[in-house]
C-alpha cells in the first residue's frame, strides 16, 4: 500500500471509531475498499450483519439496492453510500405497477423477490431471497406457484432444484452474468483441461448446466477452500477474482467474467468524504420500509 493510500485508510478508520460507524463491503468492490471493511460478504451475509450491528452509522459499499436493504432492515440507523448513482441494471428491470399487474394473472402465487430489486418492488413482495438462500425459501413456502422476480436465470436455477413447484420467472437478468466470452472460454479450456467451473446462479443456463458448483459470491470462497481441485474457471463479476485469490491462496482462478461498473464506483476517497460529511444518506418512504421489512423478516424466518 503506498503512503497516500495508507494515510486515507487510517483517516477512515479513525472516523469510523469516532462516529460509531461500520463499513459493509460487497465481494465485488475494489480491493482497496476491502482495507476499511468491518465485514466483506455476499448479500445475505451483509443483510444479516446489518440486522445485528450496534453501530450508529452503516456505510454501505456496494450498489444502491444493498444499501437500501440495510436501511429497510435497520430503519433507525443512518445508512450512507459513498456514491449516489451506483445502480443495478437487473433491479431496474421490474417496477411496482408492472409487477402488480402481472400478479393479477396468478392469484394463488407467492411473489419471491431477489434482493437485487428496488425497495418499492420489495414492498409488494411476499418474501425476499438472495442467491445463497433462494432454493430454501421457495421450498419453505406453502404455495405451489411462485412468481420469481426479477432474475430469470436464478429462477431457472431454483426451478431445476424445486421441481415440485411451478416457477413463473420475470424476464429480467444481469447484463454482466447473462453473456459469456465463448472464444476466450474455449481457449483457456484447452490450456487448463482439469479446471473446475464455479458459477454464480445469475449466469446463463448454458453455464449452469456444465458448472461443478453454483454458488453465491461468498459460497464460491467456501466451496473452493474445501474442494480438492487446484484450478477454477470463475463465471461471475471480475471483482470476485481478487476475493478468491486473497482468501484461497495456492489455487488458480481464471475469470470468464465481466466488470460491473456500478460496483466499482466507490473509492477510498469517496468513502472518506462520505464519512467526514455524513453525506448521501439513504432515505426511503416509511410505508415502503415497513412493507419491505415484512418481506425481509419472512426471509430471515425461513432460513
Ligand atoms: P451475491 O449475493 O451472491 O453476492 O450476489 C450479488 C450480486 O449482485 C451478484 O451480481
Ligand atoms: Fe446488478 Fe449484475 Fe451488477 Fe450484480 S453484477 S449489481 S446483478 S448489474
Check if 91-173 and 182-255 are the same fold.
Answer: yes
Identify which has the larger pLDDT, 266 or 3.
266
Q: Which fold has domain 3-87+263-283?
A: Rossmann fold (3.40.50)
Residue 4 Cα to ligand 1 midpoint, Å, equals 31
Q: How far is the centre of ligand 1, averaged over its atoms, from the C-alpha of 87 (Å)? A: 13
Residue-wise pLDDT tens digits, 67-81? 999 999 999 999 999
| pLDDT at residue 272, as a whole number | 98
Q: What percent of the chain has pLDDT over 90?
A: 95
pLDDT at 22: 98
Instruction: Give tens-digit pLDDT for 11-47.
Output: 999 999 999 999 999 999 999 999 999 999 999 999 9
CA distance 202 to 7: 38
Mutate to test the pocket of ligand 1, among 27, 43, 214, 239 (most ligand atoms within 8 A of CB): 43
CB distance 263 to ligand 2 below 6 Å: yes
Report the DSSP beta bridge partners of residue 26.
Answer: 41
- CB 117 less than 6 A from any atom of ligand 2: no
Convert the pLDDT of each residue in 116-164 to its tens digit.
Answer: 999 999 999 999 999 999 999 999 999 999 999 999 999 999 999 999 9
What's the mean pLDDT in 258-287?
97
For residue 171, which of 94, 115, 95 has the smallest C-alpha distance? Answer: 94
Percent with pLDDT over 70 in the chain: 100
SS3 category, 26 = strand
Any idea where the domains of the chain sit in the sequence?
Answer: 3-87+263-283, 91-173, 182-255
Radius of gyration of the chain (CA): 19
Taking a C-beta distance cutoff of 8 angstroms, is the pair 26, 62 a contact? yes
CB 234 within 8 A of CB 224: no
Q: Which residues line ligand 1 (CB under 6 A)?
A: 27, 42-43, 116, 130-131, 174, 200, 202, 216-217, 237
Give the sheet arrangement for strand 21-26, strand by strand: 39-41, 21-26, 57-61, 78-80
Whether residue 3 is predicted with pLDDT greater than 90 in this model: the reply is no
Q: Is the CB of 116 under 6 A from ligand 2?
A: yes
How many other C-beta atoms lie within 10 A of the C-beta of residue 47?
23
CA of 14 to the centre of ligand 2 (A): 31
Question: pLDDT tens-digit profile of 238-248?
Answer: 999 999 999 99
CATH architecture of 91-173: 3-Layer(aba) Sandwich (3.40)
- From residue 169, alpha-carbon distances to 113, 129, 153 in Å are 10, 14, 9
Q: 185 C-alpha to center of ligand 2: Å?
A: 21
Instruction: Please state the CATH superfamily assignment of the domain spanning residues 182-255 in this structure.
Output: NadA-like (3.40.50.10800)
Instruction: Return the pLDDT at 38.
Output: 98
Q: Whose CA is nearest to atom 6 of ligand 2?
A: 88
By most ligand atoms within 8 Å of CB, the mutation choice from 29, 64, 90 for ligand 2 is 90
Atom of ligand 2 nearest to the CA of 236: 5
User: Which is more confidently placed, 186 or 214?
Assistant: 214
pLDDT band at 303 (very low <50, low <70, confident <90, very high): confident
Q: Cβ distance 180 to 174 under 8 Å?
A: no
Which atom belonging to ligand 2 lies closest to the Cα atom of 89? 8
Per-chain mean pLDDT for the chain: 96
Mean pLDDT of 249-260: 95
pLDDT at position 249:
96
pLDDT(223) > 90: yes
Decide if pLDDT at 267 tops 90.
yes
- Three-state SS at 254: strand
Helices 43-52, 286-302: crossing angle, 10 deg rounding: 110
Q: Of 162, 176, 175, 106, which Cα lies nearest the Cα of 133?
A: 162
**Which string of b and e fits 82-100 if b means at least 16 CB within 10 Å?**
bbeebebbbbbbbebeebe
Rounded Cα gap, residues 10 and 250, in angstroms: 30
Question: How close is the Cα of 224 to the center of ligand 1, in Å?
Answer: 17
pLDDT digits (tens, 9 = 90+) for 78-98: 999 999 899 999 999 999 999
Beta strands in 12-121 (DSSP E): 21-26, 39-41, 57-61, 78-80, 110-114
| Section 287-299 average pLDDT | 98
- Cα(4) to ligand 2 centroid in Å equals 30
According to DSSP, the residues that pair with 258 across neighbouring strands are 237
Whole-model pTM: value is 0.96
Amino acid at each position: 500500500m503506498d503512503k497516500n493510500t495508507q494515510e486515507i485508510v487510517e483517516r477512515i478508520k479513525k472516523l469510523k471509531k469516532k462516529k460509531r460507524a461500520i463499513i459493509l463491503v460487497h465481494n465485488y468492490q475494489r480491493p482497496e475498499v476491502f482495507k476499511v471493511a468491518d465485514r466483506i460478504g455476499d448479500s445475505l451475509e451483509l443483510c444479516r450483519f446489518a440486522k445485528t450491528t450496534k453501530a450508529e452509522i452503516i456505510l454501505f459499499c456496494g450498489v444502491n439496492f444493498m444499501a437500501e436493504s440495510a436501511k429497510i432492515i435497520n430503519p433507525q440507523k443512518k445508512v450512507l453510500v459513498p456514491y449516489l448513482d451506483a445502480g443495478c441494471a437487473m433491479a431496474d428491470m421490474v417496477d411496482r405497477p408492472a409487477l402488480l399487474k402481472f400478479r393479477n394473472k396468478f392469484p394463488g402465487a407467492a411473489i419471491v423477490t431477489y434482493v437485487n430489486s428496488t425497495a418499492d418492488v420489495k414492498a409488494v413482495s411476499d418474501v425476499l431471497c438472495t442467491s445463497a438462500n433462494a432454493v430454501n425459501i421457495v421450498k419453505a413456502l406453502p404455495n405451489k406457484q411462485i412468481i420469481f422476480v426479477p432474475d430469470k436465470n436464478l429462477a431457472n436455477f431454483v426451478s431445476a432444484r424445486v421441481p415440485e413447484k411451478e416457477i413463473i420467472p420475470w424476464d429480467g437478468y444481469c447484463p454482466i452474468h447473462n453473456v459469456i466470452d465463448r472464444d476466450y472460454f474455449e481457449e483457456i479450456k484447452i490450456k487448463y483441461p482439469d479446471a473446475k467451473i464455479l458459477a454464480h446462479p445469475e449466469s446463463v443456463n448454458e453455464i449452469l448446466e456444465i458448472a461443478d458448483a453454483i454458488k453465491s459470491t461468498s459460497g464460491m470462497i467456501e466451496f473452493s477452500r474445501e474442494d480438492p481441485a487446484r484450478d477454477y474457471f470463475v463465471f461471475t463479476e471480475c471483482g470476485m477474482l481478487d476475493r478468491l485469490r486473497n482468501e484461497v491462496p495456492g489455487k488458480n482462478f481464471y475469470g470468464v467474467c465481466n466488470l460491473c461498473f456500478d460496483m466499482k464506483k466507490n473509492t477510498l476517497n469517496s468513502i472518506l468524504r462520505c464519512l467526514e460529511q455524513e453525506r448521501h444518506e439513504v432515505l426511503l418512504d416509511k410505508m415502503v420500509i415497513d412493507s419491505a421489512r415484512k418481506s425481509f423478516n419472512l426471509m430471515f424466518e425461513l432460513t
